[in-house]
Amino acid sequence: MSTKIIMDTDPGIDDAAAITIAINHPAFDLDLITTVAGNVTVDKTTLNALKLTRFFNSAIPVAAGAAQPLIKPFEDAVRVHGVSGMPGYDFPTDLAQPLAETAVEALRDHIMQAEQPITLVPTGAYTNIALLFKTYPEVMPHIKEIVAMGGTLGQGNMTSAAEFNVFTDPHAAAIMYASGVPITMVGLDVTMKALLTPATMQQLPSLGRTGTMLHALFNHYQDGDQTGLPMHDVNTLFYLLHPEAFTTEAMWIDVQTEGPANGETVGDTRGAYHAGQTNATVCVDIDAPAFNAWFLKTIAAIG
C-alpha cells in the first residue's frame, strides 16, 4: 500500500529532485503540493512546482502558500538556486494554474478528507505548517507524521548554528515542534553526508529525460563541492522508504527564535532540560552509498 503524502516545498533544485521522486515513485501517493517562500519567492516556487507537474503530465494540485515568514524578514537562497530557483532546463510553458484556495486551506481540506492519515513532508520553511496548526488545529490528529528536512545538531549553513529552512522562519519551526504531531527531523548534519557523488552525476544523462532534466538543474546548483552535491530534500523520501539506512535518536528539539543562535535547533541530547521527554525522532547518520544507489535506481525507473 502506498504512503499518502503532501509535500510542502520551496523549489529549488534539490526540492525539484524530491518532487520528481514523490510524483513518480509507486510507493508514494502524492496528494497535494503546497509552496512557500524560501529558496526563492513564493510566486517562483509555485511556478517551479507547476513546471514539474507539467513535465510529468501530472494532475497533482499545487496550492500557493506563505509569501513571508511569520515574523522574521524574508531572506532567499538565490545565491544557491539561481534567480528562478530552477535554472538550466527549458520546461514547458503551457502550465496549469495553482488552486484558487491558499496552501493552508488546501492542506486542511486534503488532510480532513483523506481516508487515511496523511504524512506531511515539508522541505522548505515551515510557515504553512505553523499557520495550518494555529488556524485549523483539528487537522493534527489526522496527520500520521511529519518528516521534515531542516535543522541541524551541528554546523549551520546560514549561521554557525542555523540551517536554512529553520533560519528562514524559526517561529514557525518552534510552533511545529511544539505541536505534539510525530516529527522526524532530517537535518543538515545528515544530508551533508548523503552527497550525490561525481560518479552518480555522470550517470544521470543516460537514464532518460528525467535524468537529463535533473542533471541540467544540478549543473546550476551552487551547493556542495568536488566531493559531491547534497540532495537535502530527497533524504526525507529516502527515510520514508528506507528508515533502516538511517541512525536515529529520540530527543527533545527546541528552536531558538532570537539572538545569535536564531534558527538553531537544540537537541537535548543529555536530557538536561527535558528529562524523559522527546518531541522528535532525529536522524544522526545515513548510509551514503545506499542513498546514491537508491537515487540512481529510482531515477532510472522513472525514465
Instruction: Write the pLDDT tens digit of every residue in 244-297.
Output: 999 999 999 999 999 999 999 999 998 899 988 999 999 999 999 999 999 999
Which positions are annotated as active-site residues?
232
User: Which residue type sits at 265?
Assistant: T
- The predicted model gives 83-98 an average pLDDT of 96
Beta-strand pair 28-35/62-64? parallel
- Mark residue 147 as left, alpha or beta (left: phi above 0; alpha: psi -120 to 50; beta: remaining): beta
- Cα 171 to Cα 122: distance, rounded to the nearest angstrom: 15
Residue of 153, 120, 124 lying closest to 237 (CA atoms):
120
Beta-strand pair 265-267/253-255? antiparallel
Half-sphere exposure of residue 280: CA atoms within 13 angstroms, side-chain side: 31
- Cα 278 to Cα 14: distance, rounded to the nearest angstrom: 29
Sign, CA dihedral 151-264-124-109, equals positive
* Terminal Cα-to-Cα distance of the chain (whole angstroms): 23
- Cα 295 to Cα 298: distance, rounded to the nearest angstrom: 5
pTM for the predicted model, two decimal places: 0.97
Q: Are 144 and 170 in contact (CB under 8 A)?
A: no
Q: Are 263 and 161 in contact (CB under 8 A)?
A: yes
**How far is CA 297 from its chain centroid?**
21
> Alpha-carbon dihedral of residues 169, 154, 278, 261, nearest 10 degrees?
-40
Residues 169-196: tens digit of each pLDDT = 999 999 999 999 999 999 999 999 999 9
In the predicted model, is pLDDT for residue 1 greater than 90?
Answer: no
Residues 29-85: tens digit of each pLDDT = 999 999 999 999 999 999 999 999 999 999 999 999 999 999 999 999 898 999 999
User: In this predicted structure, what is the pLDDT of residue 224?
Assistant: 79
Q: How many Cβ atoms sit within 10 Å of the Cβ of residue 114?
A: 17
Q: How many Cβ atoms sit within 10 Å of the Cβ of residue 258?
A: 11
